[in-house]
Amino acid sequence: MYDLHTHTTMTDGEMLPIEIIRRMAVLGYTEVAITDHADPTNLATLLPALERLIPAARAFGITLLPGVEITHVPPPMIPELAREAKRLGARIVVVHGETPMEPVAPGTNLAACRCEHVDVLAHPGLITGEEAESAREHGVALELTSRGGHNRTNGHVAHAALAAGCEIVINSDAHAPGDLLDARAKNLVGRGAGLTRDQCDHILSLNIVDWVSGKK
């Protein structure tokens, strides 16, 4: 199993980075991205810290993918910040999408979907067909989330992603131990968004390491 969207005490999460790794190993995960909230002030500190955690994660059977979630950044700045994140070693760059729960700047979804350095657009709310098409063209996966509030538009996101033919990922956006998903819960997120069992099986079996490598 994989999760490409998690948070720790380095920003607004409740778990130390190693704690989230240990808990996810027990749940059966093999690939985990820690993607704490990032803007120009903390990008250069988050990623080196995660690099130091890779050996400990490996000891628990987890491939740690150091990452960030670019959050509330003005849309014109997203491409450069995503590029800088990759330069600093990010394996996964998530952009905090236009969820209806927060005052995300209009244009964030489109800026993320048009950026080759972005891997996942998180909780993109009422994403448009144009934005989803751009996501497909630039290899940006659209997220279905279990996070309360953000998940209100999962059905719309799934429909838009399928119509455009872009990749879908199912993530927890975990901030606390109770947010972590076992395999059954991840499947329910997809089925609850209107996906078929086969579609869920495809999404949940995505080989993340190969997928990330194939985007380069």
Domains in the chain: boundaries: 2-215
Strand partners, 169: 143
pLDDT in tens, 99-119: 999 999 999 999 999 999 999
215 pLDDT above the threshold of 80: no
Percent of the chain residues topping a pLDDT of 70: 100
Q: Are 121 and 142 in contact (CB under 8 A)?
A: yes
Res 209: pLDDT: 86
32 pLDDT above the threshold of 70: yes
Percent of the chain residues topping a pLDDT of 90: 96
104/206 Cα distance (integer angstroms):
29
Nearest CA to 14 out of 176, 172, 148, 173 is that of 176
Q: What is the mean pLDDT of residues 138-143?
A: 98
25, 131, 154 from 86: Cα distances, Å: 26, 22, 28
| pLDDT band at residue 216 using 50, 70 and 90 as cut-offs | low
CA angle 207, 120, 48 (to 5 degrees): 85
If phi > 0 it is left, if psi is from -120 to 50 it is alpha, else beta; for residue 142 that is beta
The CATH class that applies to domain 2-215 reads alpha beta
